[in-house]
Structure 1
């Protein structure tokens, strides 16, 4: 029997495999991954330093353990060279494999900034557990108490790393072109609250500017900013965002936009080929708008639906609204960012309830389509979720 092949071994891939196995105890499953296939939670990478976690400690199960648990064949350290969707074959460094159905769960890759300077190659990104191991080794080469860390990007991941590294005793500078951290996601009142909390943690913020060049300065790194200022660091981390990995999909001539285009069932433009997770571009509303969804909740929802479709029950992906929990302990946030097409014409309204800041976003018709709250707690989140779609 030809297997269901899953390319990738991240949270999306393993969640799907588990869901398939719940529904079909005998289906042949083949997982192909370029790494060692160990299971870990990727969101933990941005708050592992304060917990003093080594990379190996973040891996909860090895590929062998995962293979036994879900009854799958897992090909580790295997490069996928191409996909023949007509013949339904995946060509790899370990040979060619026919598939019954194929799922691309290849994730996203860090956006690489085009930076001048002779040390631009020393800019690191953390998008994988191997990246985390490299970053941690650079921070603690001699088990020193602290290092100077410059983070390019004060979005979700940049702020989480900054808070985590500062809590661990490192000297952190956040650099971002926006006037405040999390400016693209949160209400101004919450951005200001986070900025105050981060500076209170000892984090320096260089806002309204970007890194222009990165140069060696002895053993250190000198970052020249577009505004003329300079930041000296031991380590530079880029956290300016991710792009869906489209290489395999485009080589196989699948339809792509910002991500691999999928329909309401997770199907790509090729028969029996699906895409899931950070690499996919989902339909997000009734008007046919599409977007990548780089969060945990859409992965879980899509995985459950695609597993049903793979095992014979054609199922639409019912994407539900879910807030993003921002892992910044100095200012714990929950965010439901408004749909991008509403931002220009909508408005934020802010309510102060004791020490809690609650922000609601209303679109041009006066309907609540987003929110943010800090400090966040489950009861308030649930009330705000229930209010989505209601008029002001």
Structure 2
């Protein structure tokens, strides 16, 4: 029997790759290494799970045994960590000393929440939600809480703020930036999203950060960078993610912002690959669902013997903010052009055009989201 394809990580990237690979190759052994329970759940659902009164257990769609059977009797090592990788010998070592030889090794290890340098006697109570266990701790702590300070006005911060509103909890969103979703939306669209969330009950503090979190009776007192003070029952940090690159770097695999790969998802060491939130693919780090799906299909084909470079077609991001439905197809970071924005009472249609009139991106809010399909067909792909 040949050595297995070993996938490090059982998140959306790892399991999607395994499923796609099994469609093409029924015989090659599959081994997955999971830091947690090894069951399948959709991480993007965590930021709107409160509205559906979801428990951690109810978010797990299939446990590890069902996933193993679905993947053709794949071996899933639950609750294990990787102690080391020898890329020359093509062997990984798990905690406890177990060694596994591999045919190909795939990093699908995700990303870690960025931790802000916050002082105070309650700084250790600041929570982040990056996996199912995090969500469990967060949802348990919400009992009796009426207000939550959300650090970060980006995608996840806005989604959690909207989700907290569904529980009757008042969120205050705090960010050093001057507005919400500053990397994805032009000013007018950003203001429309903020105003709709505000109408639903959210508050915002911009151009400030949190310097201290201290206990204050049964609650918390936040001291902001401008000297002002804010009371909250709980603090949730949603300031962004940093790709997990440490394990790859220790193995001598090239890393930059993420684990560096080419369009075949091949990393710098022979027979190593990366995808998902941990990967920097041809210079791009895209922590969204659609890029993961594209990566998984391409890498599955490559691992099955048909070298297939990943293609990134236009990939709109759906922001889960029911208070203001929002779809964004951002232009490339180095795109040259300008936004035009059309505001109506029930929508916002923002489009980014190049100097010669080519549509390079868009942001649609409210009623304007019905234009999504028509516009997607006009936007060039990021990797074609």
TM-score norm. by structure 2 comes to 0.95
Q: In the TM superposition, what is the alpha-carbon distance from 1:234 to its structure 2 partner?
A: 1.3
- Corresponding residue for residue 90 of structure 2: 88
Partners of 1:187 and 1:335 in 2: CA distance: 11
Paired residues for 1:123-272 under 5 Å: 123-140=126-143, 144=144, 146-272=145-271
Does the CA contact (< 8 Å) of 1:258 and 1:291 recur in 2? no
Deviation at 1:377, TM superposition (A): 6.7
Give the count of matched residue pairs: 378
Name the residue aligned to 1:73. Answer: 75
Match of 1:117 among 97, 115, 120: 120
**Corresponding residue of 1:47:** 48
Unaligned runs of 5+ in 2: none
Deviations 1:345-368 (A, max 9, x none): 532101246633110112355432
Equivalent pair of 2:35/2:78 in contact (CA under 8 Å): yes
| Cα deviation 1:195-238 (Å, max 9, x = unaligned) | 11111111111111111111111221111111222111111000
Length-normalised TM-score, structure 1 = 0.93
Q: SS of the counterpart of 1:221?
A: strand
2:17 corresponds to 1:26: no
What is the CA deviation profile of residues 29-80 of structure 1, one whole-angstrom value per residue up to 9, with x for unaligned ones? 0001111111101111000111111111100000111001112111101111
* Counterpart in the other structure of 1:383: 374
- How far apart, CA to CA, are the structure 2 residues paired with 1:210 and 1:27? 51
- CA displacement, residues 115-167 of structure 1 (integer Å, 9 cap, x when unaligned): 12121111100000000000011111xxx3x4210000010000000011012
Alignment CA distance shift 1:377-1:43 (3 Å): farther
Give the C-alpha shift of residue 314 in structure 1: 0.9
Tell me the equivalent position of 1:287. none
Rounded to whole Å, the distance in 2 between the matches of 1:355 and 1:148 is: 29
4+ residue stretches of structure 1 with deviation over 6 A? none
Distance 1:245 1:45 in 2: 20
Asked if the contact 2:7–2:14 (Cα under 8 Å) also holds between the matched residues in 1, the reply is: yes
Instruction: Say which is worse superposed, 379-388 or 35-44, in terms of deviation.
Output: 379-388
Q: Which residue of 1 aligns with 2:14?
A: 13
Runs (5+) with no aligned partner, structure 1: 284-289
For 2:332 and 2:310, locate their aligned partners in 1 and report how far apart those are by CA, in whole Å: 19
Pairwise CA RMSD: 1.5
